[in-house]
Structures are given as structure tokens and as C-alpha cells.
Amino acid sequence: MRVLVTGSTGDVGRALVDRLLDGGAEVHALTRNPAAAARFRAGVEVAVGDANDPELLDAALDGVDSVHLVADLVAPHVVARIARSQARRVVVLSGFAQGPVEEAVRQSRLRWTLLRPVEFMANALAWSPDIRAHGIVREPFPELRSARIHESDVADVAAAILFEGGYDGRSLRLTGAAALTTREAVRVLAEVVGRAVRVVTTSPAELRAGGMPADEVDALVAWAANPPPDVSTVLPTVEQVTGRRPRSFAEWVVEHAQCFR
Ligand SMILES: NC(=O)c1ccc[n+]([C@@H]2O[C@H](COP(=O)([O-])OP(=O)(O)OC[C@H]3O[C@@H](n4cnc5c(N)ncnc54)[C@H](OP(=O)(O)O)[C@@H]3O)[C@@H](O)[C@H]2O)c1
């Protein structure tokens, strides 16, 4: 199997490249960063440039039978180019909203699967500077619950589908194994890292004063008042696809503990 991986230097992409190599696939990795080429394991064929560049894309697609496509990174014309190549399968990493790329994939002749993960555990890295400097996490809505997912579980799902197929024409919502509030997640982090961390609730006025545009603050407040149940509903999808329970937030913190010390 030969797979083209977009977003290959991202949290999901790096893990996916490793899974694919471990499983014996040939990997073509797209990155805009020439220095990244040196960091991939031996055997990865690196294409340097923008995933939207038609010439680069056509060259990177040469000989490829499957594609891991990060929807946010590309324009819909990329889907048309993939469909014109000999690639048959595309696994699309999508966000909360569905856009024209997802629509182009649905309308294409490709065998497609859309992955729609909830928030990544890696978003907790944004807490690192305040934790390291002050032992605090500033959050506007610390009681909001999230079924946050480990990025490696997203990669495992993508790899399983690329290797084994079986989810053609499906849109899969992916979550972790538990829905923790931010306050609970910070407590887990503090225990694992072994330091006291206090949650400081920031008000909408403080968010605005800190530079967040007023319309974004308003949208955040409205969202928090009525959060979609999707973000906190634990689903069995990761285990169904991979045969393994999703990694816990505590496991993620163990892997990233040095970022918080
Ligand atoms: N974070 C979340 O909570 C969350 C939740 C649900 C879904 N998602 C989706 O998951 C996707 C992947 O997330 P991630 O954390 O693995 O990746 P990421 O950190 O967002 O990075 C993706 C990689 O894509 C590359 N890239 C960006 N623009 C590019 C372009 N035009 N052409 C080629 N490469 C480009 C960048 O690498 P180079 O600089 O090496 O090119 C970057 O390292 C996101 O796009 C998001 O839509 C995220």
C-alpha cells in the first residue's frame, strides 16, 4: 500500500506516518517545511511544498493508492486532483464544521471516510506557559465537559481504515473514553505532573481586554451557554475501529509531562 499523508508534521500526521510504516506501507509525506524531511524515519518519501500546489500534488500522488487528507489544509480542487489520480481511497480528517472539501469528497468517485474528532488532548499544551510560570490555568468556562481525544487514537483510526477499509461512505465522530470538565482535566494533569495547579476563571471582559475580538467572545459565551452535546458524549467508535480502548487523558499527560514542569 502506498499512502500520501497531508498534515504529516502535525500531531495526528506524525503518529499516522509511524503507524503506516510499522504496518509495511510506503509513505509519501507532504510538508511545507524542508527541515521536517530530515525528521521523518527512513523510507518516507517527502514532498516539500503546499498541498494546494497542483504540480507538487500530482507528483506526490504518483503511484499512491490511498490519501490521508486534512480538510482544513486544502481547497476543494485538491479532491478533484486526487479523484483523477489512481488513488482509490481517501480518509479525511475533518473538524467540527463540514465545508466544501468534505462536500467534494462526498460527491467524488473515491472510497471515502470522514473522521470527525472532538477536541484533541494536545490542546492542553496551550496551558503549559501559565502552568510553568504561575501554576495556574486560565479558562473562561472550567465546568464545560469535553470527551477530548488523544491525537494518536485519531491516527490509529485512520491507519486501521487505510489498511483494512470497511468504513466507506461513513462519517465517524471520534471521542476519548471519558468526558472530563476542564477543572477535572487540570486535576488529572496536576496529579500526574506532581505540582499544584489552580484554575483561574477568566471573565468575558478579561478575554476582550486580553485581545480576543468581541464577536469571538460573544460566540464563545453563546456556545458555552448551550454547548452541543456532541462535544461531551463518549462514543465507542475508536474501540470499534481499532479494537482498543482510547487512551486516557492521564496517559497523554504522562507522555507530555515535561511540557508542564
Ligand atoms: N486541535 C483540535 O482540537 C482538533 C479537533 C478536531 C479536528 N481537528 C483537525 O485536525 C487537523 C490536524 O490537526 P493536527 O494537530 O494533527 O495538525 P496541525 O498541528 O494542525 O498541523 C497540520 C500540519 O499541516 C501542515 N500544513 C499546514 N498548511 C499546509 C498546507 N497548505 N500544505 C501542506 N501542509 C500544510 C503543517 O505542517 P508543515 O508546516 O510541515 O507544512 C502542520 O504541521 C486540523 O487541521 C483540524 O482541522 C483538530
The reply to whether ligand 1 has any atom less than 6 angstroms from the CB of 238 is no
- Cα torsion angle, 62, 68, 72, 73, sign: negative
Query: For residue 115, with 0-12 CB atoms within 10 Å meaning exposed, 13-18 middle and 19 or more buried, which class applies?
Result: buried
Distance 7 CA to ligand 1 centre (A): 5
Atom of ligand 1 nearest to the CA of 122: 1
- Ligand 1 contact via 7 beta carbon (within 6 Å): yes
225 burial type by CB count under 10 A (0-12 exposed, 13-18 middle, 19+ buried): exposed
Domains of the chain as residue ranges with CATH: 2-117 (3.40.50.720), 118-150+176-232+247-261 (3.40.50.720)
53 Cβ closer than 6 Å to some ligand 1 atom: no
Length of the chain: 261
Relative to beta strand 66-70, strand 45-48 is unpaired
Ligand 1 closest atom vs CA 50: 32
Which residue's CA lies nearest to atom 27 of ligand 1? 73
DSSP 50-93: -TT-HHHHHHHHTT--EEEEEGGG--THHHHHHHHSS--EEEEE
How wide is the angle at C-alpha 125 spanned by C-alphas 22 and 7, nearest 5°? Answer: 45
Tens place of pLDDT per residue across the chain (261 aa): 999 999 999 999 999 999 999 999 999 999 999 898 788 999 999 999 999 999 999 999 999 999 999 999 999 999 999 999 999 999 999 987 889 999 999 999 999 999 999 999 999 999 999 999 999 999 999 999 999 999 999 999 999 999 999 999 999 999 999 999 999 999 999 999 999 999 999 999 999 999 999 999 999 999 999 999 999 999 999 999 999 999 999 999 999 999 999
Mutational test site, ligand 1, from 93, 94, 154, max ligand atoms within 8 Å of CB:
93
